[in-house]
């Protein structure tokens, strides 16, 4: 970027430059490309690597535009796939926005409060909490000006992305003058993806490859393999390392094994666990530790794949090959963020996994990612029918056909509606929610399409604090590992088990299996599946 263009952009960001960019003194390539487009009012989809500055590239000029008008009421809707990323964004953005007079809030299941009489100017939320807000406080969105969707690749081509697509359609039926900004580090077909969420989005792709150094280690003997890995990490002074596992159960197991080895070796390194079944307190403690501690190992699922600011990680360890190349790029991209290279270790159990790692890293070096075939989710159709009915009370069938045509045709929709008799009531051309549906909605059960698991809440009797959730038979005396610690069940009450921490015990609880379809798939007629 030449000095003149930098100075021009700086002048155009009269109010926001100091708070967003002054400490860096310069703009990154993606910021150079994106900021002028946002200031011009373009809709954008931005593809650039992790830690390239996408968030500030969009938020700073959005706020600059916002400050030129009346900032009263809700103006910016920022959608993220996870609560962890929402919390991290709040930490990153709250101070500059507060200094600029912008009221920022997070609305998630962890932070449910929302004041409809005095809504924030800028809200960070998930698709599910957005659904709840739109149903209960639709008037709050009347003055909305900007919609930002982060880590779009994690939402698109699944039931959560389809839920979001319909929510945006519903929003467009109320308001029209809105700009859309979508971000991702890994999208194969950004133009095709963008069309599913808004019209006329300009594509901005900024390359920024870092050299990848990797080493593969055999862990068919888990203790021997991890011991060798830890010795290598210590000799390389890679004291701050992020481990990625493909399941919550594996995360707990690997964390347990690493913790034992660290203690045996006498290394002064703290080991943390991070996955979606842990309490918010546990997750935030892990995130804070890897941001602030100089020597820390964190074992996580994909919950830390995203653009959460966790400081500069010395190395990333992949425990078995990830699901795809996109995931691999996201995971290894968390390491060495302030350097021009990535250090990664791949742990494999057999020759087939080693071959997969070799293929994946070859594609990753070339920047080649897989293409996901888009198939609309019928479970999202059912979920959105329920959500629309709860918001509106009654609708014409033609209105549902209009809103949901992006997911299914009129004939399929009519068959789904008839199949939902009992949840819906029909009177001439109108459809009404039944008391059964309204009862589910009042309890907040209709806004999330993420499958429920029959798990138990774990409460520490010593502190009375909630630790997380597991799938386990609630039997007194049962022992298990959660959050990297060993527990014994002391008593049970409904869906809660009260536990006492014990010395290390070789057992890992089951967390159940994540389903690839939304929970409302069970209400779709069989013949349509």
Q: Which domain holds residue 276?
A: 211-366
In a domain, 373, yes or no: no
Both 441 and 460 in a single domain?
no
Both 19 and 123 in a single domain?
yes
Write the burial class of residue 193 (CB in 10 Å: 0-12 exposed, 13-18 middle, 19+ buried).
Answer: buried
- Vertex 85: Cα angle to 366 and 160 (nearest 5): 80
How far CA 438 is from CA of 43, 114, 425, 435, in Å, comes to 37, 21, 12, 5
Q: What is the CATH number of the domain that holds 408?
A: 1.10.10
In a domain, 397, yes or no: yes
Both 481 and 418 in a single domain?
no
Other beta carbons within 10 Å of 15: 15
In a domain, 372, yes or no: no
The pairing of beta strand 270-274 with beta strand 296-300: parallel
Chosen domain end from 205, 240, 262: 205
Both 356 and 401 in a single domain?
no
Q: What is the CATH number of the domain that holds 271?
A: 3.40.50.300
Both 50 and 173 in a single domain?
yes
In a domain, 512, yes or no: no
Both 139 and 9 in a single domain?
yes
Both 357 and 387 in a single domain?
no
Both 260 and 358 in a single domain?
yes
Q: Is 117 helix (H, G, I), strand (E, B) or coil?
A: coil
In a domain, 507, yes or no: no
- Quote the crossing angle between the two packed helices 54-66 and 29-39, to the nearest 10°: 30
How far CA 291 is from CA of 253, 302, 341, in Å, comes to 23, 17, 20
Chosen domain end from 333, 366, 399: 366
Name the nearest CA neighbour of 21 among 42, 43, 1.
Answer: 1
Give Rg (Cα) of the chain: 24
Q: Indicate the number of domains in the chain.
A: 4
Whether the model clears a pTM of 0.85, i.e. scores above it, the answer is: no
Chosen domain end from 316, 337, 366: 366
**Edge-to-edge strands, sheet with 456-460:** 465-470, 456-460, 496-502, 485-493, 479-482
Name the nearest CA neighbour of 130 among 391, 514, 518.
Answer: 391
Alpha-carbon span 182 to 193, nearest angstrom = 10
In the chain, what is the greatest distance between 2 CA atoms, to the nearest angstrom?
Answer: 75
Both 361 and 488 in a single domain?
no
In a domain, 508, yes or no: no
Phi, psi of 202 (to 5 degrees): -80, 140
In a domain, 419, yes or no: yes
Both 216 and 318 in a single domain?
yes
In a domain, 223, yes or no: yes
Q: Is there a contact between 327 and 292 (Cβ–Cβ < 8 Å)? A: no
List 469's β-bridge partners, or say none. 457
Both 353 and 318 in a single domain?
yes
Both 229 and 252 in a single domain?
yes
pLDDT of residue 2: 41
- pLDDT of the chain, 529 residues: tens digit per residue: 444 477 889 899 999 999 999 887 788 889 999 999 999 999 999 998 777 789 999 999 999 999 998 788 999 999 999 887 898 899 999 999 999 999 999 999 888 889 988 999 999 999 999 999 999 999 999 999 999 999 998 899 999 999 999 999 999 988 888 999 999 877 878 899 999 999 899 999 987 667 888 999 999 999 999 999 999 999 999 999 999 999 999 999 999 999 999 988 888 899 999 998 898 889 889 988 988 898 999 999 988 877 666 767 899 999 999 988 888 888 888 765 556 678 999 999 999 999 999 998 988 887 777 777 889 999 999 999 999 999 999 999 999 999 999 999 999 999 999 999 999 999 988 999 999 999 999 999 999 998 876 678 899 999 999 998 888 888 898 888 888 888 999 999 988 999 999 987 666 666 655 557 899 999 999 999 8
């Amino acid at each position: 970027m030449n000095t003149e263009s930098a100075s021009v952009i700086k002048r155009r960001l009269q109010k926001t430059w100091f708070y967003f960019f002054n400490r860096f003194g310069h703009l990154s390539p993606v910021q150079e490309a994106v900021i002028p487009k946002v200031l011009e009012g373009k809709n954008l989809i931005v593809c650039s690597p992790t830690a390239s500055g996408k968030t500030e590239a969009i938020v700073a000029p959005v706020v600059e535009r916002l400050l030129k008008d009346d900032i009263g009421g809700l103006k910016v809707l920022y959608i993220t796939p996870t609560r962890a990323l929402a919390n991290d964004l709040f930490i990153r953005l709250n101070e500059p926005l507060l200094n600029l007079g912008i009221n920022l809030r997070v609305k998630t299941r962890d932070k449910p409060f929302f004041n409809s009489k005095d809504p924030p100017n800028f809200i960070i939320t998930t698709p599910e909490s957005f659904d709840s807000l739109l149903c209960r406080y639709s008037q709050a969105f009347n003055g909305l000006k900007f919609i930002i969707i982060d880590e779009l690749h994690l939402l698109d081509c699944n039931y959560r992305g389809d839920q979001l697509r319909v929510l945006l359609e519903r929003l467009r039926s109320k308001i029209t003058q809105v700009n859309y900004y979508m971000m991702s580090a890994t999208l194969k077909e950004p133009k095709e993806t963008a069309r599913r969420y808004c019209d006329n989005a300009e594509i901005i792709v900024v390359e920024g490859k870092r050299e990848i150094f990797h080493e593969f280690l055999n862990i068919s003997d888990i203790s021997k393999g991890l011991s060798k890995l830890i010795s290598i990490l210590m000799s390389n002074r890679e004291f701050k390392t992020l481990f990625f596992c493909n399941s919550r159960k594996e995360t707990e197991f690997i964390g347990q094994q690493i913790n034992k080895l660290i203690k045996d070796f006498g290394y002064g390194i703290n080991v943390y666990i991070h996955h979606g079944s842990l309490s918010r307190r546990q997750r935030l403690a892990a995130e804070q530790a890897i941001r602030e501690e100089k020597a820390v190992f964190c074992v996580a699922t994909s919950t830390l794949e995203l653009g959460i600011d966790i400081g500069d990680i010395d190395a990333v360890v992949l425990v078995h090959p990830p699901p795809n190349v996109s995931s691999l790029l996201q995971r290894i991209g968390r390491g060495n963020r302030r350097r021009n290279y990535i250090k990664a270790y791949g742990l494999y159990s057999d020759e087939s996994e080693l071959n997969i790692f070799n293929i994946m890293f070859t594609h990753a070096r070339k920047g080649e990612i897989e293409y996901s075939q888009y198939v609309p989710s019928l479970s999202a159709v059912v979920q959105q029918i329920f959500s629309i009915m709860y918001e509106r009370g009654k609708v014409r069938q033609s209105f549902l056909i209009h809103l949901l045509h992006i997911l299914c045709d009129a004939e399929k929709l009519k068959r789904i509606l008839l199949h939902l008799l009992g949840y819906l009531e029909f009177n001439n051309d109108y459809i009404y929610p039944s008391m059964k549906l309204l009862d589910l909605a009042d309890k907040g059960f209709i806004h999330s399409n993420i499958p429920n698991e029959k798990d138990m809440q774990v409460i520490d009797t010593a502190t009375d604090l909630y630790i997380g959730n597991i799938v386990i038979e609630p039997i007194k005396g049962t022992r298990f590992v959660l959050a990297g610690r060993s527990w014994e069940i002391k008593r049970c009450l409904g869906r809660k088990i009260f536990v006492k921490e014990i010395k290390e015990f070789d057992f890992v609880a089951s967390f159940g299996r994540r389903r690839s379809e939304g929970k409302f798939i069970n209400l779709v007629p069989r013949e349509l599946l």
